[in-house]
Amino acid sequence: MLPMIISALVEASVAVGRVTSFLTADELQFDAVRHEEAVTKDGEETVRITNGTFTWNKNEPDSNCLKNLNFSATKGSLSCIIGRVGSGKSSFLQAVSGELNRRAGEVVIRGSTAYVSQQHFIMNATIKDNILFGHRFDPAFYAETVQACALLEDFDHLPDGDETQVGEKGISLSGGQKARLSLARAVYARADVYLLDDPLSAVDQHVGRHLIDRVFGPHGLLAGKTRIMATNSIPVLREADSVTLIVGGEFVESGSYDTVMASKGAIYDIIRHLKEDRNGDSASDDVTIVAAGASQDVSSEEDDVPEMNARSLGNAKSRRISIRRASIASLKRDRRKIVDEEARPERRTATSKEHSEQGKVKWAVYGEYAKACNLSGVALYMVALVVSQIASVGANLWLKRWSELNSQHGRNPEVGKNLGIYFAFGIGAAALVVLQNLVLWIFCAIEVSIGNLPECPSAAWNQY
C-alpha cells in the first residue's frame, strides 16, 4: 500500500493548497459600483466615472492600475477605448463591471450589464443553450441574433446546426466561433450596458465588417444600447461616437473620430501606425472593398434563409423600441409540451446512452491489456503476486505448526528459529507486495504512456 499512500498524500496536499488559496482570497468590493434604474431616452447618461482610481491588490498602497479616470457614456452611444498592449483597456472594463477595487472616486451604472471578455466562457452544452443562457426562448429575436452575429454559415457546417453539442470550454469550436457565440449570448440577453473587450480580434476582416453593420453600428441590433468597447479596430473607431486613449492607466485624449484625426494628437499617431502595420498606405481602400463584399454576402445570405430575416436592417428606430429585456426561462415545465426523448431524431453530437454488460470479462480483454502494458512487466507482476500469496499462506501455516509444537511439548521450543522463519515469511510477503506495485506503476503504466507518444527524431527523443 506504500506507493498508493504516497500518491494519495501528494494529491491531497495539492488539493488542500488549491482550496485554501481559494477560500482565503480577497472578496470583491461590493460597493465598487453603484447600480441605479435604467434610463429610457436616448442621450441620457448610463455610465459615469468620476475621479476613479482602481487597483488589483488592495493590500499594496502603490499598486494602482487605473488613476484619475473621468468617463461618461449615454444611452445609444458607442464609446471606444484604444491603447497599446498593457495600457489598461481590459482593466477599465473590469473596473466598470465592479471586478477591481475602487480606491477613490465614484462609478455609477444605470441598468443591467452584459460583458464580453477576451477569454470566452463556453458551457458543455448545445450552441443554442449557450446563446440562451437561461433566458426564455424568443424565436424571432433568436433568429435575428444568430444572423447578426454571422453564425448561420457555421450552423450549416456543424453536424447538428445550433443543436450541436460543444465540449467543455468550447473545445470543438474555433476561436472566431467562440467569439461570435459569446457575442450572440450577450446580444440575446438584451442588457442596457454592453462592455466589449475587443470582440473583433478573433474574427476575419469581412466578418468584422458584418458584425459592425449588424451589431455595433448605428443600424445594428445594439444601436439603442450603451456600448463601451476596448479595441484598436479602425472600422469600429470610425463608427464610434467617442474615442478615448488610455496610456499607463490614465486617459490622455478623448473626442469623436473626426475630431481626434483633425487635431493630429496621440490618437492620430496610434491610428496612423495601425494603418501602416496592417494595410500600408492603401488601408482605406481595402476597408472599403471589404465592406462592399460583406454587404453583398449579407444580402445573399438573407435571400437564402428567409425565415431568419425576422426584421429589416434599416428599421433601426423600430428595433430600438421593440427590443425588450430578456426574461429568465421558467423552470416549471408543462407536461403537455414535454417531448419524449426517444421520439426526437438522434443528434450526431449528442452523448450516446450507456449500457451495461452481464457476465464475466473475456480472456481476450485481459490479453489486450497485457499486450498494451508490456508482456514482460505483466509476467513479472504475476510472478510477484503469486509468490507474495504463497509467502502469506506459508506464514500462516508456519504459525499453525509453531502452535502445535507448543501444545505437544508444553513449552515454546526453539523460539528464535520459529520467530525468525515467521518473520522471514511476513517480510517477504510485504516486500513482494511493494515489488508488484512498483512493477505495475513503473514498467506497465509508464510503458502505456511512452507507447502512445508520437514518433520523433532521435535528438528530440534524447532531449525528452
3-class SS letters over the chain: CHHHHHHHHHHHHHHHHHHHHHHCCCCCCCCCCEEECCCCCCCCEEEEEEEEEEECCCCCCCCEEEEEEEEEEECCCEEEEECCCCCCHHHHHHHHHCCCEEEEEEEEEECCEEEECCCCCCCCCEHHHHHHCCECCCHHHHHHHHHHCCCHHHHHHCCCHHHCECCHHHCCCCHHHHHHHHHHHHHHHCCCEEEEECCCCCCCHHHHHHHHHHHHCCCCCCCCCEEEEECCCHHHHHHCCEEEEEECCEEEEEECHHHHHHHCCHHHHHHHHHHHHHCHHHHHHHHHHHHHHHHHHHHHHHHHCHHHCCCCCCCHHHHHHHCCCCCECCCCCCHHHCCCCCCCCCCCCCCCCCCCCCCCCCHHHHHHHHHHCCHHHHHHHHHHHHHHHHHHHHHHHHHHHHHHHHHHHCCCCCHHHHHHHHHHHHHHHHHHHHHHHHHHHHHHHHHHHHHCCCCCCHHHHHHC
How many angstroms separate the CA atoms of 19 and 39, rounded?
Answer: 42
The pLDDT of residue 11 is: 94
Q: Say if 5 falls within a structural domain.
A: no
Highest mean pLDDT: which of 244-258, 259-273, 320-334?
Answer: 244-258
Sheet holding 193-197, edge to edge: 113-116, 193-197, 226-230, 78-82, 242-247, 250-255
Q: Determine the structural domain holding residue 252 and report its residue range.
A: 34-322
284 and 392, same domain (yes or no): no
230 and 379, same domain (yes or no): no
Asked whether the predicted pLDDT for residue 188 surpasses 90, the reply is yes
Q: Say if 94 falls within a structural domain.
A: yes
Asked whether the predicted pLDDT for residue 233 surpasses 80, the reply is yes
Q: Count CA atoms closer than 13 A to 306's CA, side-chain side.
A: 0
Q: 10-19, 343-352, 425-434: which has the minimum mean pLDDT?
A: 343-352
Asked whether the predicted pLDDT for residue 313 surpasses 90, the reply is no
271-296 average pLDDT score: 52
314 and 374, same domain (yes or no): no
Q: Say if 142 falls within a structural domain.
A: yes
152 and 260, same domain (yes or no): yes
Q: Which amino acid, one-letter code, is at 85?
A: V
Query: Of residues 250 and 337, which shows the higher confidence score?
Result: 250
Share the mean pLDDT of the chain: 79
Q: Say if 51 falls within a structural domain.
A: yes
420 and 289, same domain (yes or no): no
The pLDDT of residue 346 is: 56
Q: 23-32, 305-314, 349-358: which has the minimum mean pLDDT?
A: 305-314
* Cα distances (Å, whole numbers) of residue 363 to 357, 366, 392, 436: 15, 5, 27, 21
Confidence band for 15, pLDDT divided at 50, 70 and 90: very high
Q: Say if 135 falls within a structural domain.
A: yes
Which residues lie closer than 8 Å to 442 by C-beta, 6 or more apart?
A: none
246 and 304, same domain (yes or no): yes
The pLDDT tens digits for 77-115 are: 999 999 888 888 999 999 999 888 898 899 999 999 999
117 and 223, same domain (yes or no): yes
389 and 302, same domain (yes or no): no
The pLDDT of residue 47 is: 94
Q: Find the distance separating the first CA and the last CA of the chain, reported in whole Å.
A: 31
% the chain with pLDDT above 70: 78
166 and 104, same domain (yes or no): yes
How many angstroms separate the CA atoms of 178 and 118, rounded?
Answer: 10
Q: Say if 346 falls within a structural domain.
A: no
Q: 122-131, 319-328, 393-402: which has the minimum mean pLDDT?
A: 319-328
Q: Say if 118 falls within a structural domain.
A: yes
Confidence band for 350, pLDDT divided at 50, 70 and 90: low
The pLDDT of residue 10 is: 93
Residue the block writes with cell 478615448:
244
Asked whether the predicted pLDDT for residue 316 surpasses 60, the reply is no
Interior/surface letters 318-352, b for 16+ CB within 10 angstroms, e for the rest: ebbeebeebeeeeeeeeeeeeeeeeeeeeeeeeee
Question: Quick one: which of 220, 225, 218 has its CA closest to 298?
Answer: 220
203 and 96, same domain (yes or no): yes
The pLDDT of residue 399 is: 87
Query: Of residues 330 and 23, which shows the higher confidence score?
Result: 23
| Domain-terminating residue out of 268, 298, 322 | 322
Query: Of residues 269 and 293, which shows the higher confidence score?
Result: 269
Residue 181 and residue 122 in contact, taking contact as beta carbons nearer than 8 Å:
yes
170 and 310, same domain (yes or no): yes
158-178 average pLDDT score: 82
Q: For residue 183, which phi and psi values (nearest 5 degrees)? A: -65, -40
Asked whether the predicted pLDDT for residue 458 surpasses 60, the reply is no
Query: Of residues 33 and 349, which shows the higher confidence score?
Result: 33
310 and 367, same domain (yes or no): no
Domain count, the chain: 2
Residue the block writes with cell 493590500:
59
Q: Say if 211 falls within a structural domain.
A: yes
Confidence band for 54, pLDDT divided at 50, 70 and 90: very high
Task: Assign residue 170 the CATH number of its domain.
Answer: 3.40.50.300
* Cα distances (Å, whole numbers) of residue 279 to 205, 209, 287, 383, 419: 12, 16, 9, 71, 89
What own/partner pairs with CB < 8 Å and gap ≥ 24 does 426-434 have? 426/391, 426/395, 428/388, 428/391, 429/388, 429/389, 429/391, 429/392, 429/395, 432/384, 432/385, 432/387, 432/388, 432/391, 433/1, 433/388, 434/2, 434/3
Residue 242 and residue 74 in contact, taking contact as beta carbons nearer than 8 Å:
no
Confidence band for 201, pLDDT divided at 50, 70 and 90: confident
Q: Computed over its alpha carbons, how large is the radius of gyration of the chain?
A: 33
Q: Which three cell numbers stand for residue 202?
A: 478573433
Asked whether the predicted pLDDT for residue 365 surpasses 80, the reply is yes
